[in-house]
Structure 1
Amino acid sequence: MPRQQQPARPVRRRSYDQFCATARALDSVGDRWTLLIVRELLAGPRRYTDLHADLPGVSTDVLASRLKDMEQGGLAVRRRLPPPAAAAVYELTEHGRGLLPVLTALGRWGAPALGERRPTDAVRAHWFALPLLRALDGVTHSGVVEVRLAEGEFHIRTGGEDAGGEVYGYGPAGHPDACLVLDAEVVLALGRGECTLAEAVGEGRAEVLGEGPLAAELRGGRSPRI
């Protein structure tokens, strides 16, 4: 008689097996690519194909594996959009969105390593959202700022916890409260604390478009331009 096939056992994820909060955290997000997937999903739900396009260098097998691990770990969920989209998207859970301060701190720590851009370096405009959010952390007015770089456009929300929704998003905003025009080097300088946005505007290295209190605050409290 043929041997009865045994049911496959679930694969146990690797663990540091240490009674330490840092080790437990790394059990969930310490694998290569996981935190970069979180960076992408912090901007809102994304299809698998969009994630693959904005994570140059990741293989389809690794991306699928990481997303499955993130679902099992309660960091992300997969859901199907209603018609006419009828597409499956991945999005962060509240537990996954709690990694925003981790990504922000990690970016601040790694900022000094960003010197001259290497020929092999991929770049996406929305990757500059996190350092810009750090620079605008003290902005008091809530609203949406559309950011225009040579690399593309993205938008961010100011006002901290009162802003609501995702803290940044892909592409231009539908109805921004202000538009910020600058280049990537200025964003990095702002994120490193080398200058303030008001100083960059005053020196002509950045331009704020729009009217209203948020635009005025971004200019440094000056009246909107006519």
Structure 2
Amino acid sequence: MSIIKRRVLYEEVAEILARMIYESRLEPGQWIDEMKLCDELGISRTPLREALKVLASDGLVELVPRKGSYVKSISPEELDELFPIMALLEGYCTQLVAERATGSELRRLRHLHDCLEESAANGDLASYYEENIVFHDELKAVSGNEWLQRITLDLSRVIRLARQQQLKLQGRLLHSLEEHRNIITAIEAGDAAGANQAMQVHLINQYEALKAAILEDSEDEVD
């Protein structure tokens, strides 16, 4: 007999809240108004608070005693620590993909890359960003390493809090696309070392662009 796993309410609520955070409907540093969210989602405070605990364990929310919950804000110092680690892990992940990917998996990756090409050609930042997430998540899945996939997914949840900003930097979208071309070309050629290097370059360039975007935003606030 097969067992159907039913999702409990707080898991669904956690997914909704995570999407709200990634879409900046709940912004970094913002206090989370529990009563307002309960009314908006039509739920009681119990599943909401359980969902907030899940998001806190994922690094998306901070629980402050006697003050409530706040959307996690990533500091430049945390980015300094996170991105080099993510570059190494995703580089190795992409190396495994180049070594192991089947024909059908390669076609899937090529299709996802073509979607990135189309969004970039249309100047559609929102679609490019979402498709970029799908592409990177697919690489993790195709790598075939469950532990690597789990660790990189956990880290990417946190990095996503700030990652989208770097695409707003002048010229970054086209540079990102070119980096993706290098990645998919190396994967399709079975060039494991090249795929690893291309992904590491891509992540480090993201990191540098993100720092520049944050600096640009801070200068605009001063002006």
TM over 0.5: no
Q: Tell me: higher relative CO, structure 1 or 2? Use CA pairs within 8 A at least 6 residues apart.
A: 2
More strand by share: 1
TM norm structure 2: 0.30
